[in-house]
Structure 1
Amino acid sequence: MRTATEEVRSEAEISFTVRSLPEPQGQIFESISTPVVFVQAARFHDGLYIAGPAGLSQYDASGKLLKHFAVGRDLPSSPLVAIAPAVLADSQLPELVIATAQDGLLVFNSRAFRQIFPRDASVRTITSILPAASGHLLIGTRKRGVLLYDGKKITVLHPTLSKLYVTALAGTESDLWVGTLNQGVLHWHAGETDSFGEEQGLPDRQVQSIAVAGDKAYVGTVLGVGVFEGGRFSRTLAAGVLATALLPDAGQLFVGSEDQGVIAIPLEGHHRNFAPADASQLAEVHQLFGMDDAIFALTRSGLYRMGAHGFGWQPVLHPGAATLSDRNVSALATDSRGGLWVGYFDRGLDRLESDHGSAAHIENEHVFCVNRILSNPKDGTIDVATANGLVRFDSAGSQEQVLTRADGLIADHVTDIVSYQDGLALATPAGLTFLDATGARSMYAFEGLVNNHVYALGVSGDELMAGTLGGLSQLEKGSVQVNYTTATPGLKHNWITAVVPVGR
């Protein structure tokens, strides 16, 4: 029998596996480029590596792209959220540690990747990492707080730092500052944890960034920067600024922001009102760091270097032009000519020819929030379900008609669309609308639908399945035959967001 000590140790340790990622086997599918988003950069083996949702990119000193490791192709499909060079205890060699949003950790030695994959999904949702001088790795997560990887096991760093949504880590393994989503900042030192929120002077409980210099800690929040000296709150800087990145350097605090660029605040002497000046051209600053005696700002879409004598920011590199207009894809369809239609959550749609070489962007008051795209092979037309009506395009790709509630739809917002019988069936938040040669006919809960808010449709012959907020309705020739809810054996959720016919 296991002893009580063994049982406690087993519960404290988090099960995981370490596996080598296979080398890329060449191009097995065509990729269409989307706008690159930069999240975090790190220097490793004389190269600059930048991580983002699409993967890991390697650049040389001149800003030339040397290699790109794409998520879903070379790496697991989860977006990359953080990177840091480290010497971990299990390898004792310089490596690049990469945190993913859902697939644990990746470790790169400049030749190959290995994955540290916790079996518990809540442990795999990582937000931040902090290598320690001991070879340990501190890991911030969305639900499990701060974890410690020592090369052999993963454990909770301390009970007072568990069950937190961690947003930032800074300091050392024995003197650690932990930023959270809604519980302010925690300072763990000498085996104790101090908590700071608005009641203790912090500008806001939502922490975005942390930087430590000597006995001072700077905590960036959505409403300014809190300054701590010797573990005690001292004052607030950059009040009202959404401080997404921090860098103390040469008597100044550089504050990267969401919409005010990079602000330089003097830390000594009289603290006058700050002014972003020409730095306001930098939007969505994600990271500030020093390298080669210079200061760099990594934004969502580029890397900048502070000019000589601290005046202005010079662009260092920008990602190349992308084929698609946006990353947030909500709908896909091919037309009768082999072209690809790509709908976006809030950027309209792109129409690509069969060679996928370039895209024609369409965005207007109706084609904005795209939910579904339906191609009609008979006449080559394209129907686009949007939040502002049903938009029809002719076979040449030109917009020819918009249908809204004023034209007979039960609602302007069309969530899904399918070919049904001799016409179309439209899902909306107010019920269903059927369109055919005779016009429009609608139905809602009063006529038998399990719920008015319809999200998804599936068709098989005369049978139409409507997935709603309150369950599933089965229709035959336009009439409800039966409804399914969680009271029905086998259906575990009422909120149905996708329906696909299988086996016919």
Structure 2
Amino acid sequence: MSRLARLMLGLLWVAIPFQSAIALDPTKAITQYVHTVWRTDEGLPENSVNKILQTTDGYLWVGTQAGIARFDGVHFAVFDHTNTPAFHDDYIVDLVEDRQGTLWIATSNGGVTSFHDGIFTHVDAIGARGGMALAADLDGSVWIGGYGGVTLFNNGKVIKTYTAANGLSGDPVRQLVTDKDKSLWIATAHGLNHLINGKMEAYSTKDGLPRNDVANLHFGADDTLWAQAQNSEIVRLIHGRFEPWKIQGMAGHTVGMLEDRDGNMWISTATEGLLRINGQQVSRFTTKDGLSSDLVTSLYEDRDGDIWVGTNEGGLDRFHDGSFTTYAKEEGLADDQTYSVIQDHAGDIWVTTAAGLNRLRGNQVRVFTTADGLPTNSTWSLWEDHAKNLWVGTSDGGLARMSQGRFTPALPARNDVPAYMVGGILVDGADQLWISTRGGGLVRYSDGRSRLYSRTDGLLANFIYAVAEGKAGTLWVGTSDGLNSIQDGRILSYATNGLSDAEALALHVDAKNTLWIGTFGRGLFRLENGRFTRYTTHEGLPDDTINNILEDSTANLWFGSNKGVFRISRLDLDAVAAGTSKTVHPILFGKADGMKSSETNAGSQPAGWRARDGRLWFPTIRGVVVVDPTRLFLSDRQPTARVEQMLADEAEVNLAAPARLAPGTRRLEIRYTAPNLSSPERTRFRYRLDGFDEQWTPGSIQRVAQYTNLSPGRYTFHVSASADTGRWGTQESTLRFVVLPQFYQTWWVRLLGALAVIMVLLGFYRLRVNWLHARAAVLEERHRMAGEIHDSLAQGFSGIIFQTEAALLRMKRTHSTTVGHVKSARDLARSSLQEARSSIWNLSPPALDQKSLLEQLSVMARQLTGGRVDELDIHSSGKAWLMQPEAQHHMALIVQEALSNAVQHGSPSRISIKLDYKPDSLLVQVVDDGSGIHSNISEQPGRGFGLKNMRHRSKCLGAKLEVTSEDGRGTKVSLYVPRLGALARLWRHLRGDSTARIDG
């Protein structure tokens, strides 16, 4: 989304007319509130609810006969003696919160337990036995009543206990309440007491109480004290005396009472369910209406104005005022299935159903049937013309018109008006009546004449869903096979961008003459200035089926779908059409907002209506619903996120102390919430883990964060929550924790590791320096020996070469055989001089720099044999691989020594040289058929040195040398060279062995 689009969206949020729920609208029937029930299946510890209280942190506490539950709007956290040792009894009888935010919990036989900062504590030192009643004083003190009187408790100490000796009427104490004057009212089984300024006053039947056994007390909105004795009527304290409260129609055994902030009195009964008294009007809600039980045990109004009801063995009920109000059979409609809705000139709302036509005048519903002249009770469509005539389309009785309170048939089926269901009616600006049928086409009726349009005239289908009039007299027609337009008798078809063959269920022309088309399963289409734009779930729609389209007064479009009614701003839709945003941001409304069913109905017209007061009406499969766009009950109270639990490798971490996670923790879960009792489904969360996350996670409804394999270190977890408006709260909940390191991750182990690395590097450095020093020494020695060779051995070889050249000049004309031998001697002297220099310098001979091993051996063998053998065979097998020049040099000299021995001492007629390459090795073999090597060769003076030199060279290569020979049967020299043997000499240098030499 572009920066401009985000800015416009932000301004839109600010302009949204949200309204916090401050009470239940008393004009609504109880059946029109959002009613929800929670039982043990939803997480309650037990279905008998004795007491309900919302604490200042937003949680709802529910006391039952089997423990207490803390509710955040989504989940119940249950506490009882099995998981909380501070509870000595699980039967909860009373709850109160003091000014310090401590929750006090009274149990039937286990005394009192307190809860503060996540810790439960059993309260031992109380004067009164048991703890049947609780009250909190304005100065922070807590009153505890039970058997034996009433005890004042402050700062963990008993301040004073009041008993019969102090004027208390008797035992047991049933209820305690405090008033604005900081005085205490005490209901007992033997009368009512008022403790004010340390003085105990008593009230009894003499003062107007119906009985002395007082069970319930309640202060109303005007500070009036209401009281109710066991099995008796409700009374009010007026001018020091209790007066009966008489209401016509209020019957049943009352159990308790609650006056809400609007002055409505809610009464709990033992057999008649729940009563609401508004003035003198009594409304009843029982199990027949969905109440969990007709025995109501507790009542409570939360800070959002919702009414909570605890019942016996039934569970927990809540009544919530939603943004939508539903009128269904419970409110007097003929049927739950509603199809079409309009408002007439008098302001009445008309609704069609299959069981009759309904008129809503205020909250009063009247049903019209065949008894009132309708041709059939199955009504489908409506419209009021300019003459204030009401037209009604039916399923099988054609069209009817209302006149003077009665309906008469109109336009019966004939040739030009097909006998099909009349699904839609529209009166255009020219006062022409357009009648949509289900299979018979579209009929125009004007001045007593009718005209039928069908497929033969160019319509895409005869099944007509909707018609809408645009500017300049264009009539848009939605059919089961796409969109048509009719203007000046000309019919056009539109098939583009997925609209082809689409079922066009709903049409709406807005104030800018833009056409909006709702389809079945194809999403929403927009036609503006000849350009179509398509919106689907990919662009953010909650549903791809659009049943209804309406526009409110603040440039928002409202859509009915199978998943609820949703609203999208026109700016949001424009941004997608302009390409500056990829998605829209709808607000979806459903059952949680007052609809009895989230599914709206489609196919009849008008399938929705904007009334003159701005309210929007939608037909659904369970009644017709209405919403005031300017009074949406979307909470403007920012929920406060709270971390509730941390699990490390599935084990719970104690958050009361600084969290330290064990070394090697692999999986971490942080569970969080934000108490929101009225609309928890709209609460969204974002979180960030300092030390791991670079930014906030995208907002989601997820209530758990998971991390795996966190590195050792200190972390801070942040979480914040957002309500319906999309604004993130400024308050964050944070959790700091430490992941402890493994021993090898500690600082001292890392220090030792760093020192070890430094030592290794120093060792390599020392090896390198030694190698360089040794190399320098070798180079210096080579330089010295090269000089000596040049001055001595080289000069000698040069003299031999000079003499052989002179002999050749003289022997030109002599025998050719002698000349050949002298030439060979000359060439051998030259080669020996070159090899000597190369060996001393440990450098590759010139031939080696240019030839492969096979080529080098071929040249060498021909020079050494020089026609002295009859057959010389040199061949190679396998794929040759590259080797270090030094390694090739060693192998060549080994072969040279073997050839020299064979030629000089064996007199062979045949010599074979074989190279056999393997992927990881090389076999070099020299085989001759000469006289062989005598067994005592090493004992002869000056003999055996060549074999020693060959073995020394093979050792440098890491190779294996085998020499096999028998007298008179030839010799075989085999050299097995590993592929890595070429590195042998390099490793010798790295070891600093500067004395390594190759003799010869």
TM-score using structure 2 length: 0.26
Relative to its length, the structure with more helix (as a share) is: 2
Greater Cα radius of gyration, structure 1 or 2 = 2
